[in-house]
Amino acid sequence: MTNHIKICLFFLFGIASAHAQEKVTLSGTIAEASSNETLIGVNIIIPELNVGTSTNAYGFYSITIPPGTYKVQVSYLGFKNIVETIAINDDVKKDFYLMNDAEELDEVVIEEDIEKISIKEPQMSVNTLTTATIKKIPAVLGEADVIKSILLLPGVSNAGEAASGFNVRGGAADQNLILLDEAIIFNSDHLFGFFSVFNPDAIKNIKLYKGGIPSRYGGRVSSVLDIYQKDGNSKDFHMTGGIGVVASRLLAEGPIVKDKGSFLIGGRSSYAHLFLKLTNNENSAYFYDLNTKLSYKFNDNNSLYLSGYFGRDVFNISDSFNNVYGNAVANVRWNHLFSDKLFSNLSLIYSDYYYGLSLDFVGFNWNSGIKNFNFKYDFKHYLSNTLKLHYGVNNIYYKFNPGEIEPEGENSGVNYFKLVDKYANEAAAYIDIEQNITEKLSVEYGIRFSRFDRLGQSEINVYENNNPVTYNQDLGIYEKATPIDTISKSKSTSIAAFNNLEPRLAVSYAIDDSQSVKASYNRMTQYLHLISNTSSPTPLDVWAPSGPFIKPQILDQVAIGYFKDINNNAYSLETEAFYKKIKNRIDYIDGADLIANNAIEQVILNGEAKAYGIEVLLKKNLGRLQGWLAYTLSESKQRTPGRNSTEPGINNGDWYFTPYDKTHDISVTGSYMLTNKWSFGANFIFQTGRPATFPYGQYEYEGINIPSYGPRNNNRLPFYNRLDLSATYIPKPKTNKKWQGEWVFSIYNVYNRKNAASITFRENMEEQRNEAVKLSIFGIVPSITYNFKF
């Protein structure tokens, strides 16, 4: 640690000591009264002092004030407010338990909205969704879906229907860090994008960071989707579930030791393939997953959590093609309270993404995947009401299995083949500082130091002039270079190291209590790359670490926004403009072979990308009718210029639209409560068509018509639009009944729009000409789901 850092920390802790001598601290946890489930983002306000705070990811809060007797207000979306007068003459530990509004009131009155951005907080480019909101949104096949819900937010889109992943502010799907209870999820979809891997019944909180990302997050350059599972009910046993046309789910939770320990276990499975067997159709596609969590509170200062997820997708074609893939994660977390001002969380995390493929007609099995072991130690230090620190360290060890082919059967003509395993280690240390400089001006600033080591492997190619790609000037094409040697290095040896400082800054200036302007800057580094030349990730895609020939991606993003509460929070308006630039974005040479490639460096070049745009989110927060209108105007491009004056680069070194560019993206979603028995939901989506490369002409060679293509992504698919509707019927809305059930009727794509997922070009042999063929995934899709809990 440098002397400068030591001096800064000494100064900060000196301030804390001075405050401690004249003030006292109110701290504790806030949970749901009926289950002891801790609540994230609960507002705790002391109006007399005009100070407040909110709970962290584990329900803990701390607020430092002068000694005295004060009214303390506690409020949270969908829960009844607490207003309590407390004498605080010494440090006080006070836990609050909130009751759901529906448990006491016939009509739910929302006092605070956790889903809106706080006017005075410097945090921007962030969207928070509750599971209650997600379940109101009509979804394909009647299943509430986390990923489909965030696609309705400004700046978020995907490559089309049944496409995996999502894109944020013109970034690729692999540039999103997806966390489930802090564990990294490498593939967020079931059934190639029809469902997400997140069971909505098991989810507590969802937060999407699109910019202004705190320094505690790193490793991706586009966004962070941070998802926490429920802890489980430590008071009573309950079950929740749903029966749908395609899939069903069941979740059980209850106490291990009443008020101290709890368990949660939930499972989902699809079964549409069973109906195919009744028609003698030998093909099938289905998924299943399992969410688990154990929680135990030893005392007021120590809690232990064990959480896990396991999911698999299975895809069969006539028993001759079998595809299995999915995630498995586990996390052991220890929360410890050193004092009423210092909260810590220690996590040991394991994550495994597996992809398997079996081809019986060829006689081989293919296995690949990526594993990581993650150590995290985070601290939240409440120095004062105007100064908070969030700091910590983390270390991730990776093992990459790019692919392994095993012969199957005695008559298999395939020989065993193993792509070389790769290893890497990513370490980081960070500090975030939240500071209220004045009542109007607040800042959050910090820095992250990251180091990435590409570790040794059994075979490392050596190239002439250290160049794995050569340019053939005679043919005008890029070609693979031939290795001049192969060496071996121990996996305990670093063969390439990258060190990066990643500063973060967010500023908020409150014009008054109802409006503010905010600005942010962040630099982020991504050391892992998804090797894929499709617009949407597929399970066969392989992740590759940075190394001697693959540089890490480095992002610089700035954003500025205006935020306003309208009519006492009945409405809210969020507007942002952003610009971001990414260095070392991988591009592929023409004709690149990515599958089972043991030397991926031979087909890639480092380029750059940029994106900019404007986002608008107008929300209606109160009343029977609630919802939002989201609009994004943006542009996303990339280029790979020549490495020297004699090379043209890719696409002649010109900028071209990325596959995830959407000039206009409009989403409207709403829910209307007609009576306590009937409620309705609707979505409308309009998007500019995805960029594509179409032929601009053709020529004949030996009697065959061959298309000629222009610049990359110089054309577009037709614009995309659809309308979804849903209706929810609760036969017996009385909440004191042990069994509560509801019917959800939904129609996806009401007017049966045949949106183009892709357009391919082929030769029509009968008419001896090339023709365009549009592929559409969905037309109108009605569905019925029965949800229950008891």
pLDDT tens for residues 353-382? 998 888 776 677 888 899 999 999 999 999
pLDDT for position 411: 67
Compare 21 and 489 and report the one with higher pLDDT: 489
d(CA 482, CA 489): 20
What would the mean pLDDT of 79-102 be, rounded to a whole number? 86
Phi, psi dihedral angles at 146 (to 5 degrees) = -65, -50
- In b/e form, how buried is each residue of 81-93, taking b as 16+ CB within 10 angstroms? ebeeeeebeebee
Write out 27-64 in H/E/C secondary structure: EEEEEECCCCCECCCCEEEECCCCEEEECCCCCEEEEE
Angle 761-767-772 (CA atoms, 0-180°, nearest 5)?
20
* pLDDT of 638 over the 70 cut: yes
The residues, any chain, with a CB within 8 Å of residue 81's CB and separated by 6 or more, are 73, 74, 75, 111, 112
- In b/e form, how buried is each residue of 722-731, taking b as 16+ CB within 10 angstroms? bbbbbbbebe
CA end-to-end span of the chain = 55
* Short-list 432, 578, 571, 397, CA closest to 502: 432
% of the chain exceeding 90 in pLDDT:
47
pLDDT tens for residues 716-772? 999 999 999 999 998 887 666 788 888 999 998 999 999 888 888 777 767 666 678
pLDDT for position 599: 85
pLDDT for position 537: 57
Phi, psi dihedral angles at 179 (to 5 degrees) = -120, 135
Do the bridges between strand 656-657 and strand 625-639 make them parallel or antiparallel, or are there none, so unpaired? antiparallel
Compare 192 and 466 and report the one with higher pLDDT: 466
d(CA 91, CA 97): 20
What would the mean pLDDT of 567-579 be, rounded to a whole number? 92
pLDDT tens for residues 639-669? 999 888 889 988 889 999 998 899 999 999 9
Q: Helix or strand or coil: residue 709?
A: strand
* pLDDT of 533 over the 70 cut: no
* pLDDT of 71 over the 80 cut: yes
Compare 526 and 1 and report the one with higher pLDDT: 526
Question: Tell me, what DSSP letter sits at residue 650?
Answer: B
pLDDT for position 656: 93
pLDDT tens for residues 232-275? 999 999 999 999 888 899 999 999 999 899 999 999 998 876 66
